[in-house]
């Protein structure tokens, strides 16, 4: 049988329900999907691929799913570090956004972010930012998979006058994107402290109608929880529960402040928690109790957050930090093992995004969203366990190939859908403008 | 004037006492030392270099000093992860060492470690392992700078029968290495729970006589402290203080358990703390209160620990983890800023090793221990602050050049003193032997 593509790696790390790692297997791809996963000798007998990619020292695995980011903020990477959260936001990030964030900023920043994500093995991301139509355009041009957040916030911005206009524009964008197979949407109320009850009720109604999830920062810091208790007499999560919000179509991002009762409640409702360890550390927001959440049965996925508070979009690094930090927070070196963390970075993200039938693991019938990681370099030798090396010592430069829906986005570390020189030139132009006024 | 080498980078990050970052400056090197740091135009007028290295998008900075590692353990990288400390040690690491650790293992493992360190910008490391003569040989062959730990432990190993033999062999090695300008030594009692009072007193005497520092794991875990209190009625640090050990020539590694009184005492004595954030996380050992130590005036340097508990020897990554974690532990996003962490990875390490007059910063008269980091890639653009990018988003693959005492060890990312293919072949041989018996 003639097929589009056969990939022949050293290891196929499936991230299926048994975490199977297969050696000397090949992955057959046709019509954007995984057609077969079978021993190399059988593959050679059964299929006549139009293209064969032989990767004798590489692991092939599902592409990473970055479950929370603000892609456009790549243009603000490293502009203001080492500052307390409110100083950082009020005196640096918000003024820079007020001055610069327009459709062009969002398009260019998102393109740069997508290039960084592809080069570090991410095949799908979940975004939240203003001018989401510009984000969607950059995603569509690059051929990556993404869930576009339809942002809602109480106050006016360059993108709109307030919640009603945000919802209207968001709905329009949702309708426009229905024809794009790689693009989905979510309602994205910014945070409990920036969105009041009325817009939350409206957007819950809309999310049900459109059958899309809701993506929100919740319990990012102790300050947020304390302030809400002073102002509303309830913890933010309780307030959202009173509005019937957190259910199995709800992605609660950060969650560094959680009581045992709240963890049980999240598990019962099927709410997804998006863990952003590096951003939580960098902003000193607190420690998400990931091992406890996982033990309670909560689906925990992984996100980098935006480039301004990380300062990279590298899911290999984020897995490493999640695994290391998770052990220390749980006071148990066996907590968050390499396989669990790899699930958080792939299939758990797909579940959170409602895409687990389409992506997040290498299984027959799923989209061919795959990456290859070269484990032949000195830093990953000797090699006793490819999953350990992926999580604990491989780095982004070892990502050699990336496919989304069977289409190559990175081949031998070269971007195929984005022009690297053009991106660097755009970054330089923005740097000159923004840096001059910083 | 004719000189050996002129390096012309975009930024010279000096890590001098003012943390000066100079743009459009050149560094003149002759006879293994930094002869001058001056504006490019002046350098072109004053010097006729036999070699010029122009690095128009790079930062030039002092090489990293890895202040605590067990280099040879590179051969055990990823052999056993995600295990509780005592299971990891007793059922995996110690049996593997008992079976395999001989002079050849140590030489080959150290060579592989040195290759990894050079490729990630380390120019000096402080080691502790058995068969230190094999470590020293590998260091000497590679041309890197190192402090070789003369290990002392109560129990017999393949290297010796007990403390007296370890001290005798250590002394011999110390004498042999006196002719090697890049090699120094330290007494290296393993830990309070593995070395009893008598050998500690002997080695203190010897350290004074030889005028060399002492390097020891101290307060790595809460369990260690609790057990000592049960057995000796004192905390390990108190016991060491009773033996007059921790002074300004003492490097206390890990230190995750510290009272405010102990911090004051360390500051008063001038004792150095070696912080190993990634190993402490991975083994769930606890959190070192780095911001508090630094505020008290304690010199804190940075180490990766061995490859079996990290699982890399990458000081760029260790700086990032130290900065991120330091903020969260201090509950202050402005704690451990990028410049402070860069000092911990360079000049503070030099101070701990007693080498601050020789290395650790780019200053006239110091050895030319320098590295260049290419900041032109997508992941480090836009660029508002090169120090922020070094700490928060550059990775090891961006290290392009490494010099130790003016001699190139890495040029355009190629190792010049080590044979990469030969190292990979050795790693494969050890992998086959060790992996088969794991």
The partner residues of A201 in beta bridges, in order of sequence, read none
Helix (H, G, I), strand (E, B) or coil at B406: coil
Could you report the per-residue pLDDT of B261-276, keeping only the tens digit for each? 999 999 999 999 999 9
Q: Which residues of chain A have pLDDT under 70?
A: 438
Size of interface A-B (CB pairs under 8 A): 199
Mean pLDDT of chain B: 97
Beta-carbon separation of A333 and B85 below 8 A:
yes
Pairing of strands B145-152, A25-30: unpaired
Residues of chain B neighbouring A397 (CB-CB closer than 8 A): 395, 397
Here the ipTM equals 0.97
Could you report the per-residue pLDDT of B288-306, keeping only the tens digit for each? 999 999 999 999 999 999 9
Each domain of chain A, given as residue ranges in start order, spans: 2-62+366-405, 64-352
CB atoms within 10 A of CB A104: 13
Q: Give B205 to chain A, closest Cα distance, Å.
A: 38
The partner residues of A184 in beta bridges, in order of sequence, read A147
Pick from A83, A311, A384: which is nearest to B435 by CB? A384
Pick from A116, A337, A395: which is nearest to B82 by CB? A337
Q: Any idea which residue has 């859908």 for tokens?
A: A417
Q: Alpha carbon of A301 to those of A135, A271, A274: distances in Å? A: 22, 11, 5
> Which of A379, A413, A438 to mutate to test binding with chain B, by most B CBs within 10 Å of its CB?
A379
Pairing of strands A250-254, A272-275: parallel
Pick from B79, B119, B282: which is nearest to A384 by CB? B79
> Which of B115, B378, B386 to mutate to test binding with chain A, by most A CBs within 10 Å of its CB?
B378
Residues of chain B neighbouring A91 (CB-CB closer than 8 A): none
**Does residue B387 carry a pLDDT above 70?**
yes
Helix (H, G, I), strand (E, B) or coil at A409: strand
Q: Alpha carbon of B406 to those of B29, B286, B403: distances in Å? A: 7, 39, 5
Helix (H, G, I), strand (E, B) or coil at B23: strand
What is the C-alpha separation between B43 and A147, in angstroms, rounded?
53
Tokens of B243: 């033996």
pLDDT at position B87: 87
**Does residue B436 carry a pLDDT above 90?**
no
Percent of chain B residues past pLDDT 90, beyond the cut: 97
DSSP track, B281-315: HHTT-----HHHHHHTT--EEE----GGGTS---H
Q: Give B116 to chain A, closest Cα distance, Å.
A: 6
Average pLDDT over residues B370-393: 98
How far does CA B188 lie from the centroid of its chain? 14
Pick from B87, B88, B378: which is nearest to A115 by CB? B378
Tokens of A52: 């064969």
pLDDT at position A86: 78
> Which of B105, B279, B341, B379 to mutate to test binding with chain A, by most A CBs within 10 Å of its CB?
B379
Could you report the per-residue pLDDT of B66-120, keeping only the tens digit for each? 999 999 999 999 999 998 777 888 899 989 999 999 999 999 999 999 999 999 9
Residues of chain A neighbouring B435 (CB-CB closer than 8 A): 382, 384
Residues of chain B neighbouring A438 (CB-CB closer than 8 A): 384
- pTM of the predicted structure, to 2 decimals: 0.98
Tokens of B120: 């990630």
Q: Give A32 to chain B, closest Cα distance, Å.
A: 28
Beta-carbon separation of B382 and A431 below 8 A:
yes
Beta-carbon separation of A378 and B116 below 8 A:
yes
Beta-carbon separation of B395 and A392 below 8 A:
no
Contact A170, A210 (CB under 8 A): no
Tokens of A5: 């593509």
Angle at A380 between CA A125 and CA B215, to 5 degrees: 110
pLDDT at position A88: 87
Pick from B112, B328, B379: which is nearest to A287 by CB? B328
Tokens of A394: 């491989």
What is the C-alpha separation between B221 and B218, in angstroms, rounded?
9
Residues of chain B neighbouring A396 (CB-CB closer than 8 A): 379, 395
Q: Any idea which residue has 């990477």 for tokens?
A: A77
> Which of B82, B85, B105, B337 to mutate to test binding with chain A, by most A CBs within 10 Å of its CB?
B82
The partner residues of B371 in beta bridges, in order of sequence, read B61, B402
Q: Give A66 to chain B, closest Cα distance, Å.
A: 16
Pick from A81, A283, A393: which is nearest to B312 by CB? A393
pLDDT at position A90: 87
Superfamily covering domain B64-352? Metal-dependent hydrolases (3.20.20.140)
**Does residue B417 carry a pLDDT above 90?**
yes
Contact B74, B386 (CB under 8 A): no
Angle at B145 between CA B141 and CA B147, to 5 degrees: 105
How far does CA A414 lie from the centroid of its chain? 22
DSSP assigned state of A63: P
Fold of B2-62+366-405: Urease, subunit C; domain 1 (2.30.40)
pLDDT at position A438: 64
Q: Give B420 to chain A, closest Cα distance, Å.
A: 8
Q: Fold match between B2-62+366-405 and B64-352? A: no
Could you report the per-residue pLDDT of B131-176, keeping only the tens digit for each? 999 999 999 999 999 999 999 999 999 999 999 999 999 999 999 9
What is the C-alpha separation between B187 and B208, in angstroms, rounded?
10
């Amino acid at each position: 049988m003639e097929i589009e593509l056969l990939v022949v790696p050293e290891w196929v790390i499936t991230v299926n329900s048994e975490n199977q790692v297969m050696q000397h297997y090949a992955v057959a791809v046709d019509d954007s999907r995984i057609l077969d996963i079978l021993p190399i000798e059988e593959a050679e007998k059964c299929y006549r691929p139009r293209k064969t990619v032989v990767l004798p020292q590489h692991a092939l695995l599902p592409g990473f799913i970055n479950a929370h980011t603000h892609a456009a903020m790549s243009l603000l990477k490293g502009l203001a570090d080492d500052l307390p959260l409110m100083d950082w936001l009020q005196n640096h990030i918000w003024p820079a956004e007020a001055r610069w964030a327009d459709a062009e900023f969002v398009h260019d920043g998102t393109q740069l972010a997508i290039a960084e994500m592809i080069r570090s093995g991410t095949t799908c991301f979940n975004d939240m930012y203003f001018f989401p139509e510009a984000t969607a355009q950059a995603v569509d041009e690059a051929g990556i998979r993404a869930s576009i957040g339809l942002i809602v916030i109480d106050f006016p911005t360059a993108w709109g006058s307030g919640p009603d206009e945000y919802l209207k524009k968001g709905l329009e964008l949702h309708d426009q994107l229905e024809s794009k197979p790689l693009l989905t949407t979510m309602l994205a109320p910014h945070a409990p402290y920036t969105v009041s009850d009325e817009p939350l009720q409206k957007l819950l109604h809309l999310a049900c109608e459109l059958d899309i999830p809701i993506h929100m920062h919740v319990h990012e810091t102790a300050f947020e929880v304390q302030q809400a208790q002073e102002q509303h007499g309830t913890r933010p999560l309780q307030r959202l529960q009173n509005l019937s919000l957190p259910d199995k179509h709800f992605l609660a991002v950060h969650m560094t402040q959680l009581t045992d009762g709240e963890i049980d409640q999240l598990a019962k409702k099927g709410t997804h928690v998006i863990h952003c360890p590096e951003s939580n550390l960098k902003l000193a927001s607190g420690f998400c109790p990931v091992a406890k959440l996982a033990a309670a049965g909560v689906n925990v996925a992984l996100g980098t957050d935006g480039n301004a508070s990380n300062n990279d979009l590298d899911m290999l690094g984020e897995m490493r930090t999640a695994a290391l930090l998770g052990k220390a927070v749980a006071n148990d070196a066996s907590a968050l093992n390499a396989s669990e963390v790899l699930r958080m970075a792939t299939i758990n993200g797909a579940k959170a995004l409602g895409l687990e039938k389409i992506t997040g693991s290498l299984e027959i019938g799923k989209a061919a969203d795959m990456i290859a990681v070269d484990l032949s370099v000195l830093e990953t030798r000797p090699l006793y366990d490819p999953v350990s090396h992926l999580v604990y010592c491989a780095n982004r430069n070892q990502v050699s190939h990336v496919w989304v829906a069977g289409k190559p986005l990175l081949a031998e570390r070269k971007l195929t859908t984005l022009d690297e020189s053009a991106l660097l030139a755009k970054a330089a132009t923005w740097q000159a403008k923004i840096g001059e006024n910083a």
